[in-house]
């Protein structure tokens, strides 16, 4: 009998640690241990407990609480799972995984991230052994080239090309760097991989280091990922003891050391040259290119940078062959891609699908559609660097070229779903507020331009928009794109440009009519009481914190608009639907 409690950050936040402790207490005298796994990707069902009975049949129990631990323990002891039947995952929810193709996430939520033996038993480090015993660096790069693997950090640049450039650069000392500075709002793919399967990152990086001739590997991970850092550090120490890291790895001439650098959480450090500056102890600001990192990167030595998901594919490609990876996806975008589904979605979590699926496939078929059965409005792809894709483009194919045609980008894989209640002007303002604050300030266009755009959007959402604001935003977008040095500034206008392109009517309603069609912008709302529906129960008046509602008992009440602070408590409290928001 094997029991494992999913303890990624999402599971722990939902109470998985308490569930695990309770189960251990209930089973302490039975000799049955309770293990740990990472995130399986079903974040909306956490905490999740997986039980493999004596026939190796999986019982996946979801939304488990501490009070369920005694029943679960009894079911395990007696091998009678009828008493926890209500906790078993439904076929509908289980289809979330069945409709995916998992490569980067192949071990996530299945193996113990703190046990190197669990990774080895799953085939781990066999790809590294294959490389060191049977392949040259050129062979490795050729296999990655055949696979068509492109950088999963957002740019989609061919991985083999970057590796080859670093390989051909002159110099004895070279560096391989992993960018785990995942900063997009709503994105958590890299965090989940490190927390759930840290050895797949290590193995992928070791193969990459061998390919470019690097003897130093560095993982730059944001300090806001404490669990990921702890598990990765533990994995590095285990790999050293097992002979996978250090001098003459597996008896070969290849040597490589590993270290972790905890970043301070600057979004701009997701840009590779700004990341290098931060690694060197400087303020994270982008460098002018060329020279590129492959020629002069960390400490001005040849360096290669890829993100976590890119490296997580490498061992699988080496083990299964580049052609197996290339067989999935589209002609322009090979393999699979991991997405973090968040927002107004029924099934929020991690999704890995072959390139070539549509947005509809991910949001409705896998994600289950929109919460509360509201209308789908748009999806934000690529975070602050991406754009909003509207409902009429829901059948857009997921690959780099097709997503680019919409004005959005693939990005690192954030997918924020919005419904009819989302104001698109507010959404653009949210992302501009983020990029304005995260700008390093090096470029005038980015430093000043994003701030001016944020101010205009704020003014529009507060009811102070004026004629020409939309055109001014478009002009600023053009100037920032042309004048910014790095990807942060060059892509910062995307959320504004796409919302203007697809939802211009909402901007016009805010500016011309002083109304928010989605009824989200508080300053543009007004609350009215329908005298025919109002029963005079006084509940709204008692709930109003501003004393803006007056009226006698059993008589229709009135809202004083000059006093109303538009908090919405009256509408939420009314049991008769007498209060409308306009």
Is 90 exceeded by the pLDDT of residue 480?
yes
In a shared domain, residues 253 and 157: yes
Is 80 exceeded by the pLDDT of residue 427?
yes
In this predicted structure, what is the pLDDT of residue 53? 81
In a shared domain, residues 136 and 281: yes
The CATH code of the domain that includes 386 is 3.10.20.600
Asked whether residue 169 is assigned to any structural domain, the reply reads: yes
Which tens digits make up the pLDDT trace of 289-324?
Answer: 999 999 999 999 999 999 999 999 999 999 999 999
Asked whether residue 263 is assigned to any structural domain, the reply reads: yes
In a shared domain, residues 85 and 143: no
Q: Pick from 128, 122, 99, 154: which is nearest to 38 by CA?
A: 122
Number of domain units in the chain: 5
Asked whether residue 108 is assigned to any structural domain, the reply reads: no
| Residue where a domain stops, chosen among 26, 56, 90 | 90
Boundaries of domain holding 557: 526-581
In this predicted structure, what is the pLDDT of residue 54? 73
Is 90 exceeded by the pLDDT of residue 29?
no
Give one DSSP letter per residue of 242-284, joined into a string: TTSSBSSGGGSS--BEEEEEEE---GGGGSHHHHHHHHTTS--
Q: Pick from 155, 187, 236: which is nearest to 43 by CA?
A: 187
In a shared domain, residues 364 and 435: no
In a shared domain, residues 374 and 291: no
**387: which strand partners?**
381
Model confidence at 385, pLDDT cuts 50, 70, 90, reads confident
Q: Pick from 51, 43, 57, 46: which is nearest to 23 by CA?
A: 51
In this predicted structure, what is the pLDDT of residue 441? 93
Is 80 exceeded by the pLDDT of residue 276?
yes
Which tens digits make up the pLDDT trace of 129-167?
Answer: 999 999 999 999 999 999 999 999 877 899 999 999 999
In a shared domain, residues 151 and 289: yes
Q: Supply the pTM of this predicted model.
A: 0.93
Q: Is the Cβ–Cβ distance between 153 and 179 less than 8 Å?
A: yes
Buried b (16+ CB within 10 A) or exposed e, 261-300: bbbeebbbbbbbbbbbbbbeeeebbbbeeeebbbbbbbee
In this predicted structure, what is the pLDDT of residue 155? 76
Tokens describing residue 262: 């905890």
The CATH code of the domain that includes 564 is 3.30.70.20
| Residue where a domain stops, chosen among 513, 535, 562 | 513
In a shared domain, residues 318 and 187: yes
Mean pLDDT of the chain: 95
Which tens digits make up the pLDDT trace of 179-196?
Answer: 999 988 888 999 999 999
| Residue where a domain stops, chosen among 369, 386, 419 | 419
In a shared domain, residues 23 and 86: yes
Q: Pick from 280, 286, 202, 285: which is nearest to 246 by CA?
A: 202
10 phi, psi to nearest 5 deg:
-65, -40
Model confidence at 456, pLDDT cuts 50, 70, 90, reads very high
In a shared domain, residues 545 and 453: no
Model confidence at 79, pLDDT cuts 50, 70, 90, reads confident
Model confidence at 327, pLDDT cuts 50, 70, 90, reads very high
In a shared domain, residues 160 and 260: yes
Is 80 exceeded by the pLDDT of residue 57?
no
Model confidence at 19, pLDDT cuts 50, 70, 90, reads very high
Tokens describing residue 420: 């009819």
In a shared domain, residues 314 and 415: no
Is 80 exceeded by the pLDDT of residue 350?
yes
Is 90 exceeded by the pLDDT of residue 209?
yes
Q: Pick from 537, 516, 374: which is nearest to 570 by CA?
A: 537
């Amino acid at each position: 009998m094997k029991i494992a409690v999913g303890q990624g950050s999402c599971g722990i936040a939902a109470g998985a640690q308490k569930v695990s402790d309770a189960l251990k207490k209930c089973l302490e005298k039975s000799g049955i241990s309770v293990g740990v796994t990472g995130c399986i990707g079903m974040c909306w069902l956490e905490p999740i407990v997986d039980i493999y009975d004596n026939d190796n049949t999986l019982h996946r129990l979801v939304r488990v609480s501490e009070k369920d631990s005694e029943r679960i323990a009894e079911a395990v002891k007696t091998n009678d799972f009828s008493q926890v039947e209500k906790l078993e995952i439904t076929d509908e929810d289980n289809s979330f995984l069945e409709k995916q193709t998992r490569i980067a996430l192949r071990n996530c939520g299945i193996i113990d991230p703190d046990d190197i033996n669990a990774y080895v038993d799953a085939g781990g480090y066999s790809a590294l052994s294959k490389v060191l015993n049977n392949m040259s660096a050129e062979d490795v790069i050729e296999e990655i080239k055949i696979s068509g693997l492109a950088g999963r950090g957002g740019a989609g640049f061919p991985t083999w090309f970057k590796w080859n450039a670093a390989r051909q650069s002159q110099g004895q000392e070279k560096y391989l760097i992993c960018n785990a500075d995942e900063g997009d709002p709503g994105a958590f793919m890299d965090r989940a991989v490190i927390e759930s399967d840290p050895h797949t990152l290590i193995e992928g990086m070791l193969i990459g280091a061998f390919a470019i001739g690097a003897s130093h590997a560095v993982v730059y991970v944001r300090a806001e990922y404490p669990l990921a850092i702890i598990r990765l550090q533990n994995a590095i120490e285990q790999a050293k003891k097992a002979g996978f890291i250090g001098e003459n790895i597996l008896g070969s001439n290849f040597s490589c050391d590993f270290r972790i650098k905890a970043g301070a959480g600057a979004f701009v450090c997701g840009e590779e040259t700004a990341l290098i500056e931060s690694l060197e102890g400087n303020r994270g600001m982008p460098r002018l290119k060329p020279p590129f990192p492959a020629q002069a990167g960390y400490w001005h030595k040849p360096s290669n940078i890829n993100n976590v998901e890119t490296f997580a594919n490498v061992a699988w490609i080496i083990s299964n062959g580049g052609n197996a990876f290339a067989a999935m996806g589209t002609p322009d975008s090979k393999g699979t891609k991991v997405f973090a589904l968040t927002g107004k979605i029924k099934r929020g979590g991690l999704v890995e699908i072959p390139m070539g699926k549509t947005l509809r496939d991910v949001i409705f078929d896998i994600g289950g559609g929109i919460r509360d059965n509201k209308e789908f409005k748009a999806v934000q792809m690529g975070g602050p660097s991406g754009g909003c894709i509207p409902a009429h483009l829901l059948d857009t194919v997921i690959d780099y070229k097709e997503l680019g045609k919409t004005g959005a980008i693939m990005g690192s894989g954030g997918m924020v779903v919005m419904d009819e209640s989302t104001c698109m002007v507010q959404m653009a303002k949210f992302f501009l507020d983020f990029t304005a604050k995260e700008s390093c300030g090096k470029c005038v266009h980015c430093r000043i331009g994003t701030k001016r755009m944020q101010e205009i959007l704020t003014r529009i959402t507060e009811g102070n928009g004026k004629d020409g604001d939309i055109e001014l935003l478009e002009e600023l977008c053009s100037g920032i794109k042309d004048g910014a040095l790095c990807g942060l500034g060059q892509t910062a206008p995307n959320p504004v440009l796409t919302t203007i392109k697809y939802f211009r009517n909402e901007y016009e309603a805010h500016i011309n009519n002083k109304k928010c069609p989605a009824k989200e912008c508080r300053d543009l709302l007004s609350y009215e009481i329908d005298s025919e529906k109002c029963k005079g129960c006084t509940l709204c008046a008692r709930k109003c914190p501003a004393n803006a509602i007056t009226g006698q008992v059993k008589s229709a009440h009135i809202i004083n608009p000059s006093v109303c602070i538009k908090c919405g408590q009256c509408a939420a409290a009314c049991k008769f639907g007498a209060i409308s928001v306009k």
